[in-house]
Amino acid sequence: MRCLVDGISHQGEGVARINGKAVFIPHALPGEELEIEIVEERSRYSRGRIAGIYESSPERTATRCPHYYDCGGCAYQHVEYSRELELKRQVVRDNLLRIGHIDKEVKPVLGLSSPWLYRNKVSWHLSGDGEHSYLAYYRGGSHDWVKITDCRLISRPMQEASHYLNQMLPAVKFKPGATAVIRQSAVDDSLMLILYGLLAAPPKAVIDQLSKNFASLYFSRGDDRVLAHAGGAKYLEGRLGEVKCRLSPESFFQVNQQQADRMIEIIKEQAGLSGSQAVLDAYCGTGTIALNMASRAASVTGIESNQSAIEDAKFNARSNNIHNADFITGNCEKVLPSLNKPFDLVILDPPRSGCQEQVIDAVITGSPARIIYVSCNPSTLARDLARFKQSGYSAVEVQPVDMFPRTYHVESIIMMTYSGSKGK
Domain CATH number, residue 260: 3.40.50.150
Does residue 303 lie in a domain region?
Answer: yes
Between CA 49 and CA 18 the distance in angstroms is 14
SS3 283: coil
> Does 108 share its domain with 131?
no
Does residue 382 lie in a domain region?
Answer: yes
Using the CB atoms, write b or e for 97-123: b if 16+ within 10 Å: eebbebebebeebbbbeebbebbbbbe
> Does 391 share its domain with 276?
yes
> Does 309 share its domain with 341?
yes
> Does 161 share its domain with 232?
yes
> Does 126 share its domain with 224?
yes
Instruction: Tell me the mean pLDDT in the region 124-149.
Output: 91
What is the per-residue pLDDT for 179? 96
Query: How do strand 21-25 and strand 174-184 relate by DSSP bridges?
Result: unpaired
> Does 135 share its domain with 207?
yes
CA dihedral 349, 350, 355, 358 (to 10 degrees): -80
What is the per-residue pLDDT for 421? 63
* 112 touches 98 (CB < 8 A): no
Between CA 351 and CA 376 the distance in angstroms is 8
What single-letter DSSP state applies at residue 140? T
Does residue 85 lie in a domain region?
Answer: no
Q: Do you know the residue count of the chain?
A: 424
What is the per-residue pLDDT for 141? 80
What is the per-residue pLDDT for 340? 84
* Distance between start and end Cα atoms, the chain: 43
> Which residue, of 175, 204, 236, is where some domain finishes?
236
What is the per-residue pLDDT for 99? 97
* 6 touches 58 (CB < 8 A): no
Domain at 9, CATH number: 2.40.50.140
Does residue 320 lie in a domain region?
Answer: yes
What is the per-residue pLDDT for 225? 82
Instruction: Tell me the mean pLDDT in the region 149-159.
Output: 95
> Does 359 share its domain with 414?
yes
Q: Calculate the average pLDDT of the chain.
A: 95
Does residue 63 lie in a domain region?
Answer: no
Domain at 136, CATH number: 2.40.50.1070
Query: How do strand 370-375 and strand 411-418 relate by DSSP bridges?
Result: antiparallel
Query: Total domain count for the chain?
Result: 3
The closest of 377, 370, 369 to 400, measured between CA atoms, is 377
> Does 275 share its domain with 380?
yes
What is the per-residue pLDDT for 422? 61
Between CA 39 and CA 46 the distance in angstroms is 8
Does residue 80 lie in a domain region?
Answer: no
How open is the CA angle 416-418-240, to the nearest 5 degrees?
Answer: 30
> Does 54 share its domain with 102?
no
> Does 177 share its domain with 158?
yes
* 109 touches 401 (CB < 8 A): yes
Does residue 249 lie in a domain region?
Answer: no
Between CA 80 and CA 31 the distance in angstroms is 15
What is the per-residue pLDDT for 174? 95
pLDDT tens per residue, range 200-234? 999 999 999 999 999 999 999 988 889 999 999 99
Active site residues per annotation: 376
The closest of 122, 9, 128, 144 to 70, measured between CA atoms, is 144
Does residue 315 lie in a domain region?
Answer: yes
Name the strand (E) or helix (H) holding 7: strand 2-8
pLDDT tens per residue, range 360-399? 999 999 999 999 999 999 999 999 999 999 999 999 999 9
Between CA 47 and CA 404 the distance in angstroms is 25
Confidence of residue 89 (pLDDT cuts 50, 70, 90): very high
Which of 45-59, 340-354, 408-422 has the lowest average pLDDT?
Answer: 408-422
CA dihedral 338, 341, 344, 348 (to 10 degrees): -20
> Does 312 share its domain with 330?
yes
**Full residue range of the structural domain in which residue 153 is found:** 121-236
Between CA 178 and CA 166 the distance in angstroms is 14
Reported pTM: 0.94
> Which residue, of 58, 89, 105, is where some domain finishes?
58
| Greatest Cα pair distance in the chain | 67
Between CA 55 and CA 53 the distance in angstroms is 6
10 Å CB burial of residue 361 (0-12, 13-18, 19+) is: middle
> Which residue, of 202, 236, 270, is where some domain finishes?
236
> Does 212 share its domain with 275?
no
pLDDT of 424 above 70: no
Higher pLDDT, 38 or 340: 38
Confidence of residue 281 (pLDDT cuts 50, 70, 90): very high
Residues 6+ apart with CB under 8 A from 176: none
Name the strand (E) or helix (H) holding 95: helix 81-98
